[in-house]
Amino acid sequence: MFTFLDFPLYLMETLKRWSSLHGYVMFMFLTTISKGSACEAPSSPECFRKNTDEILYMCEWSMNKTEGSVTFHLYIDNKKYGSTNETWYKIHGDTVIQGRDVNIWVEAYAGSINCTSPRKSVTLVHLVKYDAPQSISMSWLGNNLSLIWKAAEKHPALAEVLFRKHNNTTESWEKKLINTTTEASKYQVILVNLLNHSAYQVQIRHRSTQAKNPLWSKWSPVVTVPAELEHEPEVTVTTKLLNGTRAVMLTWKQILNAAAAVSGVTYRLEDTQSSHGCPCANKTKTHVKTNKSTIYVSYSAVNISVTAINAAGHSPLANIQLPAKPAANLKICDNTEKEKMKKNTCKQWYELQDRELKPENVITLANKKSKGAKQIKASIKDYVRYLYFEHRCDGGKPRTVKMCLYYKKEGAPQREPQNFTVTSETLDSANLSWETIAIEDQRGFVTHYSLCSEKISSQDERKECRNISASLLTYRLENLTPGAKYNISLAGVTKEGEGPSAKLTIYTQPEKPVNVWWSFGLLFVFFLSSTMCTIILKRIKNKIFPPVPTPVIPDFFTYQPESQEMLEEKEEVHELMLSPLHPEVKSVPEDTEETTALHGEWDAGSDEDMGDERSDSRMSGESSDESPGSTDQALRSSREGEITDLEQVDNEIAMLIYRNGLVFDVKTD
């Protein structure tokens, strides 16, 4: 039923049908007449969507260039879907045509001539063709090469990878079909068992694994994969101090491995100061192509790393650790906390432990973070010594403008000085030595030590304390009482008070017993030395100036002129020789016993060498002062000897004398 308003629509529809029918008839007619004419038919169109979620279909075809402009009409199942001057056309996939088999073709109109592509029966919904892989990144995993590119859809794809060694372009491509993995909108494939110290050329195409009739995407451009950078750059560092700023000059060797540098190498410099957010610091992260660079850092501790980077990844890091550079003579901070945070200022508190800076325990308060300033300040601990740094940005370079030692709050030391010992004690003094209290136990600035001594023996003496410099590690206690016992204590003192004290007891040496023993010793030594001296002197004297007797009968001596004692004896013998004239001679046999003994002594003496006899007498310690006695004895002995046993006497002289005597005696008898 047509209403009045419906009429025009009906008319239009009828007209349309008629014209299409007319067109078809015309087309059939023209194709028949154009056979063998100049029109070259375009290729049959290829229609696909870019991924399985897409509803727009792209239809592409090709046609060898003909003169003049060409217009193409796209037909699906006898329905003209549009006309274009390009070799592609996008259609909206509607439910009618999508799911079923359809015939597709293209008609080309060049002036008065037209030609038609071959027809092709397809089911559009199954046709998926991805875009060529883009932004391919690569990295080496040992000898495996990982290739990553943008995913066409959330489903994994099948990839075809062509690869060959970079330096061998005549070599044919190797081909691998690999199912990709998908992660974070990226496709990844891993080519195993390549050589990571060689460069490669790689090309990839991929296709859907979801669609029934997937089409291969176009090939990606050929990408060059450089060899892996295996070694960190060899960096040499020179640091120059510029009044609060450190200029760190870094130079390193260029990467010489051509395979690794095939697509260029850059170097990345990073420093840890930038992460603190101190002023200027964010400017210090750089990429350079040269083999040297200068980085400006403050006096705060910093780690600088240099990495070589190529398309396939980066080398290991060359890490340069620069410790904090505290001033030589650090002072105690003056009211840093009360100072207001200036613009472009950064404050740092380094925890000090055992005189070491602990960069991991650093509190940084940068200007930008002023919101958290209160929290940061609250994290500074009481009783902990910090090295305080203040940095500014000066001419684009970070500069340390202040360094000092800081306590948020001081307390008394929590430990005593260590290894408190007495090194030597005398009568009235003692040397003490100790080691400092560890910094974390000081809990404040030790202003001095308090050294106290208390004499134990007598109750009336009281505790005596003195303040000694905090820089001392030894002390000599003087004016002590000899032989006394003292309790000594030593404690570190901060402005908040005194800490626990190290204690020890000392005993001074007693005075008197020592003196008596010393006197005894000295006396003994004196006695011994004097005795020795006399003996030695005597010997020397006897040797150099032997006693010279006045020879009475020098003519008798044909030999042994040096035997002086002999001479003396002979003289006496003469006297004796005279004496036998007296009646005493007869009485001799009465004291035979004594005389034999004496004679024996004398005889032995005479048998021996004269020198020996002399030395013997000296050895016995008889002094020359006693000579009268000895001469007496000698006189006597010799006298008796003569009388009793004259024949046995060797001495020629004596013999002569006695023989005369005997002769005389015999004659008298």
Residues near ligand NAG (CB under 6 A) are: 40, 42-43, 62-64, 141-142, 144, 177-179, 192, 243-244, 272, 301-303, 321, 359-360, 401, 454, 456, 465-467, 487, 493, 503, 505
Question: Would you say 274 or 310 has its CB closer to ligand NAG?
Answer: 274
Q: Closest approach of Cβ 484 to ligand NAG, in Å? A: 13
Burial tier of 123 (Cβ tally within 10 Å: 0-12, 13-18, 19+): middle
Residue nearest to ligand NAG (CB): 142
Q: Closest approach of Cβ 338 to ligand NAG, in Å? A: 20
Query: Residue 439: helix, strand or coil by DSSP?
Result: helix
Question: Would you say 253 or 503 has its CB closer to ligand NAG?
Answer: 503
Largest CA distance in the chain: 219
Q: Are 270 and 304 in contact (CB under 8 A)?
A: yes
Q: Which residues of 336-364 are buried (b: 16+ CB within 10 A; e: fewer)?
A: eeeeeeeebbbbbbbbbeeeebebeebbb
Question: Would you say 274 or 638 has its CB closer to ligand NAG?
Answer: 274
Q: Closest approach of Cβ 452 to ligand NAG, in Å? A: 10
456 to each of 82, 478, 487, 510, 514, how far by Cα in Å?
120, 16, 7, 15, 22
Q: Closest approach of Cβ 52 to ligand NAG, in Å? A: 16
Q: Closest approach of Cβ 14 to ligand NAG, in Å? A: 38
Rounded Cα–Cα distance for residues 490 and 466 (Å): 10
Question: Would you say 430 or 653 has its CB closer to ligand NAG?
Answer: 430
Question: Would you say 343 or 586 has its CB closer to ligand NAG?
Answer: 343
270 to each of 235, 284, 295, 296, how far by Cα in Å?
13, 7, 9, 12
Strand pairing class (127-129; 213-215): parallel
Q: Closest approach of Cβ 244 to ligand NAG, in Å? A: 6
Question: Would you say 311 or 403 has its CB closer to ligand NAG?
Answer: 403
Q: Closest approach of Cβ 483 to ligand NAG, in Å? A: 17
Structural tokens at position 135: 């932004």
Place of tokens 């060694």: 165
**Which strands form 485-494's sheet, in the order they lie side by side?**
464-469, 448-455, 485-494, 497-507
Rounded Cα–Cα distance for residues 367 and 376 (Å): 12
Q: Closest approach of Cβ 457 to ligand NAG, in Å? A: 10
Structural tokens at position 94: 């509607």
Query: Residue 332: helix, strand or coil by DSSP?
Result: strand
Question: Would you say 203 or 638 has its CB closer to ligand NAG?
Answer: 203
Structural tokens at position 184: 């974070």
Question: Would you say 297 or 566 has its CB closer to ligand NAG?
Answer: 297
